[in-house]
Amino acid sequence: MQFSVKPNTLPKSRVQGLILGCFDDFKLSSMGRHVDAQSAGRLAKLLKRDDFSGKAGQTLILHDLEGTNLDRCIILGLGKRNELDADRLITAATAIANTTKSLPIKKLVISLDDVIVCDRDDTWLATKLTETFSDAAYQYLAMKGKQTKSAPLTLASVELLAEADRGKALKKGVKLGGALSIGKTATKDLSNAPGNLCTPTYLADQAKALAKQYDRLTTTVLDEKQMQKLGMGAFLSVSKGSDEPGKMIIIQYRGTAASVKPHVLVGKGITFDTGGISLKGGAGMWEMIYDMCGAASVFGTLKTIAEIGPKMNVVGVLACAENMPSARASKPGDIVTTMSGQTVEILNTDAEGRLVLCDALTYVEKFNPATVVDVATLTGAVIMALGSQASAVFSNDDEVARNLIAAGEQTRDRAWQLPIWETYQPQINSAFADMQNIGGKEAGSITAACFLARFAKKYRWAHMDIAGTSFKWAGTKKGATGRPVALLTEYLLQLEGRGA
């Protein structure tokens, strides 16, 4: 889908769809007055009917307004004037994107007359519109057969109309929103792919292909023999149960001098999680194709960053394995030695994400990172705590946590900080090893983060648990959300000084 910014005048040719914003006072914008004049006052009369109130997100489709060149004039409710904030704008944008995606419209024109978001600027507005329309248009059709494959959506381009003095900021937002959409689509495609396709080797191949697309990206892949030499006993305790070999995938973005410390993202990439010997129940196990959403979001963020081209260095590390039961699989009670030299008693093989991540967190010390953020669908407990609204943030550095949360607020890809106080640490102490990989019934998300914190003492670090936000697991709209690509991208751009 292509997005562009044009002057606030209607094209002379036939317009398949024009979107006009309307507040609940029904005062027409300059574009609205122009259309009303062309239609001899019919637009204003239709707006006064009882079935349209101007509530944020309400839509009204008017067909073939006499005297105009419009096939459809689509009125979008914006709520109370001067109260159009970020949340109301997102509500309205989501409604109109979902309304128009099923209409036979190839080119959509949106007049931004009077559309001023009171707590955001025009760059944010254009970014969010671009991102929202792209999200609504997303379809995962790769695995559909000819008989059931849906026809591609008709909408191919969106024009944003505005006065000339708003053009520069809006164009900047369209560019950023386009880059985000590319990255989020890549994340969704990888996340939605079934486990028999999306294996660790498949992800490694995709990362290699990504590096060929962008000059500033390079990809390195560590195989199990290399990880064995590095002493990654925790990672290998997970991957050894599967016939699919584990991979540690390193994607590096070089946007400035090599001497500048990189910001590192680490993603959990369990391409299918049966639970191992601590086998999960069969109901809903299919959802475990999404246990690699952390790795997919890091992949998508690196793609977005490569599209934007900031002057900074970023490293993405994808820790990828399958967690399967077999004669070779780890058993409850096994003790392994991590790359850091610390030992872990594996009391539950279904707490495998922290085992692949802990060795990845030790590995990234080699980059002398400015910051490290790991991203993982780590615990079901976080869904009980925060639901699907916010990802959880845990950190050994309050500034890093604040930056992540601020990025989430800016993008509305929200996150919330939970504690990792030292008083939680005894829950993961082991009688036979340095630690155990579960912490009991209480505070499951926190004790998982406390486990990771023991491997992140040499740098500023945060852990994001995205189990509740990275995919929808019910209904016809189930599938990957692309979160937290927007948050991570904004976080990095703010550090570089280029955030929205």
Look up the CATH number of the domain holding residue 16: 3.40.220.10
Co-location of 349 and 429 in the same domain: yes
Co-location of 418 and 462 in the same domain: yes
Co-location of 214 and 95 in the same domain: no
Query: What tokens appear for 266 in the block?
Result: 């680490």
Co-location of 195 and 127 in the same domain: no
Distance CA 206, CA 317 (A): 14
Co-location of 35 and 154 in the same domain: yes
Distance CA 71, CA 40 (A): 16
CB 185 within 8 A of CB 134: yes
174: in domain: no
Distance CA 360, CA 269 (A): 11
Angstrom CA distances, 157 to 134, 161, 179, 244, stand at 11, 13, 16, 42
Range(s) of the domain holding residue 263 = 182-498
Last-in-domain residue among 131, 162, 193: 162
Co-location of 193 and 151 in the same domain: no
pLDDT score for 51: 82
Co-location of 189 and 287 in the same domain: yes
Distance CA 393, CA 237 (A): 27
Co-location of 331 and 453 in the same domain: yes
Beta bridge partners of 490: none
H or E element in which residue 471 lies: strand 471-472
CB 354 within 8 A of CB 378: yes
pLDDT score for 500: 44
CB 21 within 8 A of CB 78: yes
**What are all long-range contacts of 56-62, with beta carbons under 8 Å and residues at least 24 apart?**
56/84, 56/88, 56/91, 56/92, 57/91, 57/92, 57/94, 57/95, 58/95, 59/95, 59/96, 59/99, 61/99
Angstrom CA distances, 70 to 2, 49, 113, 286, 385, stand at 21, 20, 17, 46, 49
DSSP letter string, 294-324: HHHHHHHHHHHHHHH--SSEEEEEEEEEEE-
Residues identified as active-site:
280, 354
Look up the CATH number of the domain holding residue 361: 3.40.630.10
500 residues of the chain, pLDDT tens digit each: 999 999 999 988 999 999 999 999 999 999 999 999 999 999 999 998 768 999 999 999 999 999 999 999 999 999 999 999 999 999 999 999 999 998 999 999 999 999 999 999 999 999 999 999 999 999 998 898 877 766 667 899 999 999 999 999 999 999 999 999 999 999 999 999 999 999 999 999 999 999 999 999 999 999 999 999 999 999 999 999 999 999 999 999 999 999 999 999 999 999 999 999 999 999 989 999 999 999 999 999 999 999 999 999 999 999 999 999 999 999 999 999 999 999 999 999 999 999 999 999 999 999 999 999 999 999 999 999 999 999 999 999 999 999 999 999 999 999 999 999 999 999 999 999 999 999 999 999 999 999 999 999 999 999 999 999 999 977 667 899 999 999 999 999 999 865 44
CB 155 within 8 A of CB 137: yes
Co-location of 298 and 420 in the same domain: yes
Quickly list H helices, 59-161: 86-100, 122-137
Query: What tokens appear for 332 in the block?
Result: 């409850």
Q: Strands (DSSP E) along 156-243, which ranges?
A: 157-162, 217-222
402: in domain: yes
Beta bridge partners of 248: 222, 319
CB 262 within 8 A of CB 313: yes
pLDDT score for 149: 64
Domain count, the chain: 2
CB 412 within 8 A of CB 93: no
Co-location of 101 and 215 in the same domain: no
